[in-house]
Amino acid sequence: MTTREDLEAMFLNSEKFFKEVDEIVWKNDASYMESIMLVCDEKGIDPEDLVRLKLISPILKVKLQEEAVANGQLKQTSTLPL
């Protein structure tokens, strides 16, 4: 199990985690979920620890939600009136 101290030793926080994931998405034309799993594997982080350690930033959460809606894995909950 990864601890907060482990993350600090890797200089990893939610912003840096998002940047690493986003970079993989754009370089490899991968999904956000695939990219998250790749970063977790590279860093030795259990994916279940991401929420507990607060590595999922609000921006990354939105990107994951948009991806899931686009893939039909999640129903869109609401839309803004335009």
**Least reliable range by pLDDT among 9-13, 33-37, 49-53:** 9-13
| Cβ proximity of 69 and 78 under 8 Å | no
At 82 the pLDDT is 53
pLDDT in tens, 65-80: 899 898 888 887 766 5
Whether the pLDDT of residue 23 is over 70: the answer is: yes
pTM (two decimals): 0.78
Q: Which of 52, 50, 29 is nearest to 39 (CA)?
A: 50
Q: Residue count of the chain, please give it.
A: 82
Q: Is 53 helix (H, G, I), strand (E, B) or coil?
A: coil
**Residue 8 pLDDT:** 67
